[in-house]
A and B are shown apart, each in its own frame.
Chain A
Amino acid sequence: MRIRKTAAAASVVLALAATAACGGKEGTAGDKPKGGEVVSGKYTVAKDVKLDSSTLKAAQKRGKLIIGAKADQPYLGFEDTTGKRSGFDIEIAKMVAADLGFSEDQIEFKTVDSNVRETSISKGQVDYYVGTYTINDERKKQVGFAGPYYVAGADLLVRHDEKGITGADSVKGKKVCSIVGSTPLQEIKKPKYGAKTTELGKYSLCVKQLLDGQVDAVTTDDAILKGYAAQRPSKLRVVGKPFTEEPYGIGMNKDDKALRDAISDALEKHIKNGDYKKAYEGTLGKSGSAYVAPKTPLPRY
C-alpha cells in the first residue's frame, strides 16, 4: 500500500520531468501584452571606465554588473516566463550600465522585492537598484540616491465597477493594499484619509487581492498602477487623482559618492540625447502615462 503510494508519487514527478524535457510551446504564456510589445533599446557602451568607486571596481573585477530590479511590474520592471526582462526601469538600468562600461550581456539582473530592498541595497546585494524606488529622507539614511529620473504620484487602483472610491479622500474605512513600508501606505494610513491597510510583499499580490475582492483599492505610484490597469483593462482602472509626489531614484550604497555622481551624469546624458524619451515612449508610454521631460540638472548631494 505504502510502496504503491511512493510509486505513484514518483511517477508524478517523473511525468512532470518528462513533459518538461519534451519542451513545449515557445513564447510567453497567457494573454499577449496589450498595446504591442514593449521596446528594448541598445545603448553605446563606454570603454575603459575608471572610477574611484569600490562598487564599480568589484563589478569590473567580476566582469558583471548586478542590478536590482522588480520583476512583477508591467511596463516598468517585468520578467516574463521566458526570462526576458523589459520595462522603463530596465531601460534606465541598461543606459546607466552602458555608461559604466557594461554591455547588456554583462548585466545580471536580480529580482529584489520591495519588502526586502532596503536590506538588499544597503548590504550591497546589488550594485545598484532601479525599481520604482522613491527618494525620501528616511531612506537616504541607508541608501544613496541618484536621480530623480522620473516623478510619479501616489494614486489608487480600483476594480472597474467601483463607485465609492473617487480619490484619496474617499477611502475612509475601505481596505487598501500596499507594500510594507512604502510611502503611499504611510500617507493613506494618516487619520486624514483613514484607510484600513493590508501590507504585503509585492504589488502583484495586492493586485490579486483587489481582483478577488479581498481589498477595495491598491495604492502606489500611478506609473505602476497604470501598468496593471493596462494589463487587465476590463477589470481594473486607475482613479487618476495623485495625492503625493514620488520622485524615483536609483538606489545604491550610501557611501559610494563616486558611483552616485557617475550615475547622475549618465542619466543626464541620456535625457539630453533622446534615449530617455525613446525608452519612455516604448515602455511606460504604452500604459497611458504621458511623457513629461525630467528636470535637469539632477540634484547632487
Chain B
Amino acid sequence: MSASVLYDAPGPKARIRNRVYSVIGTLAVIGLIAFVVMRLNDKGQFAPEMWDIFNYAGVRNDIISGLLTTLQVFAVAAVLSLALGVVLAVGRLSDHKWVRLFTTGFIELFRAVPLLITIYALWVLFLTYKNDLGFTGDGTEFWALVVGLTIYNGSVQAEVLRAGINSVPKGQSEAAYALGMRKTQVMVTILIPQGVRAMLPTIISQLVVTLKDTSLGYVITYQELLYKVQHIAEVTVVNDESPYVQVIIVGGVIYVALCMALSALATWIERRGRRAKTGIAVAPAEQPVAAGDALDVVDHAEVAGPVDTSKKN
C-alpha cells in the first residue's frame, strides 16, 4: 500500500497504529462471523441430523440433476447468445439504415426490460402456442429460459462486440479494402476476430452473468439447481425444522464456485492478452453489472479498455 493515492508510506508511528487497527479489525470480523455462527447454532442449524440429509442418495441425485440442468441451460444459452450477439453487432454496424434501426431497437428494448419479465412473457407465450411449437414436458420452461437468456445476453454481447470491433484501428479495415476484400470478408476475417480477442474477458464476464441468471428459472418453476435445492428443503423435515439454511449454503457454494471458476478464466485470458503486442488493448475482466449493461461498463472503462467512440455522439 505504499503507492496509494490516499496514504503516504507509513512511518514507524503509523505502522504501530495500523497494527493496532489490524488487531481491532480482525477481532471485529471474527466477532461478526462468530455471531452469525452462534445464532445459527442456537437455532440448531448445525445439528448433525440437519446436515445428514446430504448423505441420502435421493438428495444427492436431486442436487446433481439440478446442477446438470443448470449447466445444460447455461451451455445452450451461452452458445446461442454469442451467435445472436455476433448477428446483432454486425447488424448494428450495417450500412443499411433499416437494418441498423431494427437491431438498435431490438437491443435497446430487451436490454431495458428485466430479464425475469422477458422470461415470464416468453413462458406464457410458449405455453399458449405449445402445441404449434411442438414442446413437450419441460420443453416450454427450458426454451423460455434459454430464449430469454439468449435474447437478453445476446443484446448485451452485441454491444460488447461492437465496442471490440470499433477498437480495431481504422487502418486495418482500410488496408483490407485496399487489398480488394469485400465487406463481408473484412468483417469476418479482419474485424470480428480482433474484436472478439480484444473483448474476450468482458464476453466471458457476461457469460458469468448468464450463468447466474439461469437461476431465474426458479420463478417459472423450472427444475434447475436453485429450484431443486429449495424443493429438498420444503419436503424434508428434520427435528421439526426445514433445512433451508443447509441447502442454501450448499447451493450457494456450488453457484459461487462455478461463477468464480468462470471469472478466473476471464482474468487469465486478460492477463495473457496483455502480454501480446497487437496494439489493441484487451478489456478488463471486470464483471459487468450483473444482469446489467456490459456496454456502459465497457464505455466507462477508459482506464484500460478500448474506447468505444461510436457511443460518444
Contact = CB atoms under 8 A, between A and B. Distances in A.
A273 interface: no
Contacts of A231: 237, 240
> Size band of the A side of the interface?
35 or more
A113 B221 contact: yes
Nearest to A33: B237
Contacts of A123: 124, 127-128, 130
B234 A204 contact: yes
A78 B61 CA distance: 18
Interface in A43-66: 58, 62, 66
B61 A62 contact: no
Given A25-B55, A30-B243, A232-B240, A120 B235 contact: no
A124 B130 contact: yes
A12 B257 contact: yes
A2 B267 contact: yes
A29 interface: yes
A79 interface: yes
Interface string B243-272: 110000000011001101100110110010
A272 interface: no
Contact of B124 (A31, A79, A119, A208): A119
Main secondary structure, interface of B, reads helix
B236 interface: yes
Interface string B180-202: 00000000000000000000000
Contacts of B232: 29, 81
B269 to A, nearest CB: 11
Interface string A195-239: 000000010110110010000000000000000000111110000
A13 interface: yes
Nearest to B53: A29
Interface string A52-90: 000000100010001000011000001111110000000
A73 to B, nearest CB: 10
Contacts of B296: none
A116 B261 CA distance: 34
22 contacts: A6-B261, A6-B264, A9-B261, A19-B60, A24-B54, A26-B57, A29-B52, A29-B55, A30-B236, A30-B237, A62-B136, A66-B137, A81-B58, A81-B235, A111-B231, A116-B221, A119-B124, A119-B127, A123-B127, A207-B242, A208-B244, A234-B240
Interface of B: 49, 52-64, 67, 123-124, 127-128, 130-131, 136-137, 140, 220-221, 223, 231-244, 253-254, 257-258, 260-261, 264-265, 267-268, 271
Interface of A: 2-3, 5-6, 9-10, 12-13, 16-17, 19-20, 23-31, 58, 62, 66, 71-72, 78-83, 108, 110-113, 116, 119-120, 123-125, 202, 204-205, 207-208, 211, 231-235
